[in-house]
Chains A and B, each alone.
Chain A
Amino acid sequence: AQTVTQSQPEMSVQEAETVTLSCTYDTSESDYYLFWYKQPPSRQMILVIRQEAYKQQNATENRFSVNFQKAAKSFSLKISDSQLGDAAMYFCAYRGFQGAQKLVFGQGTRLTINP
């Protein structure tokens, strides 16, 4: 079964600085999606960024970018120029192309932005 591990329960960063959230996963599949979702206090799950495993180029979305290392099964999220609105729980998630195709989440990292 696929598993996703986020080893940092909490992180904090100064406003305008850069922070990196870590994620590792375990799978035997070769094709899959990886995601970072954000959950602010409103509890709405919001997609931050998506990476297809067959793409070598790292995905970017404005201030958000990933470092995808397929061989190492690592998928970190970098947030540049952190803003107060970035404060939230961040979940790394995996979805395979085969089998159950369900979305498997990590435990989450709570990010605090210090003004």
Chain B
Amino acid sequence: DAGVIQSPRHEVTEMGQEVTLRCKPISGHNSLFWYRQTMMRGLELLIYFNNNVPIDDSGMPEDRFSAKMPNASFSTLKIQPSEPRDSAVYFCASSLGLATGELFFGEGSRLTVL
């Protein structure tokens, strides 16, 4: 079975540009999470969805960040405009509710904003 699929794996962009990160969760999973990892702050939860509905977006740093989940098999995280401090690895993860509790992670998208 395919795991969580994220794209792109690497993105280099210039400050001010729009960035869109994409995620396809594992089929049948009803919860989806976006995390950001940096050396300084570690792993931070940005937002999570349950049954395509945003449940907790308190970790979204500011209005430049937005996330959508139009259907059960696709989610996007958009940064507009991007800034150098947004440089990080962005992980998408999915889970089957609390059946096992485990989150399955994608390989991450490394974003570099110049």
Chain A residues engaging chain B, CB cutoff 8 angstroms? 33, 35, 42-45, 47, 50, 52, 91, 95, 97, 100-108
Contact = CB atoms under 8 A, between A and B. Distances in A.
Given A102-B45, A105-B43, A107-B42, A43 B108 contact: yes
Interface stretch (B14-22, B78-86, B99-107): B99-107
A91 B101 contact: no
B49 to A, nearest CB: 11
B42 A47 contact: no
A102 to B, nearest CB: 5
Interface residues of B, number: 21
A101 B98 contact: yes
29 contacts: A33-B101, A33-B102, A35-B101, A35-B102, A43-B110, A44-B105, A44-B107, A44-B108, A45-B93, A45-B105, A47-B102, A50-B100, A50-B101, A91-B43, A95-B98, A95-B101, A95-B103, A100-B48, A100-B56, A101-B31, A101-B98, A102-B33, A102-B48, A102-B56, A103-B93, A104-B45, A105-B42, A106-B42, A108-B42
Contacts of A52: 101
B102 A50 contact: yes
B89 interface: yes
A107 to B, nearest CB: 5
